[in-house]
């Protein structure tokens, strides 16, 4: 059995935890707790890798992933009333 060590990003919001693997595009999961989300993404990653290997696809190797936060200035446009018609 081959083992893979891949990055995982965990985001917490009011609804629980969202988790994804940047190296495996489209591989994501969620959970009500950190532990549940972690277990769910492990299953998703295993299935994703098995599927890629069965289809003859490579598993990407990314040497490093950096995580940072950036500040973005956004001009806020205020709307005065609405003229929408249904």
Its pTM stands at 0.75
- Phi, psi dihedral angles at 57 (to 5 degrees): -90, 150
Give Cα 83 distance to the centre of its chain.
38
Give me the number of domains the chain comprises.
Answer: 1
How many whole angstroms separate alpha carbon 47 and alpha carbon 24? 11
In the block, residue with structure tokens 């289809």: 55
Given a contact cutoff of 8 angstroms between Cβ atoms, the answer to whether 9 and 19 are in contact is: yes
Cα–Cα distance measured from residue 40 to residue 79, given in angstroms and rounded to the nearest whole number: 42
Give me the CATH number covering residue 30.
3.30.160.250
Domain that holds residue 53: 1-86
Span 13-69, pLDDT tens digits:
999 999 999 999 999 999 999 999 999 999 999 999 999 999 999 988 887 778 888
């Amino acid at each position: 059995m081959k083992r893979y060590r891949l990055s995982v990003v965990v985001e917490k919001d009011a609804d629980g935890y969202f988790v994804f693997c940047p190296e495996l595009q489209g591989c994501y999961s969620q959970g009500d707790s950190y532990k549940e989300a972690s277990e769910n993404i492990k299953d998703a990653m295993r299935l994703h890798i098995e599927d890629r290997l069965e289809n003859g696809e490579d598993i990407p190797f990314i040497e490093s992933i950096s995580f940072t936060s950036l500040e973005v200035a956004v001009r806020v446009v205020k709307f005065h009333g609405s003229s929408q018609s249904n």
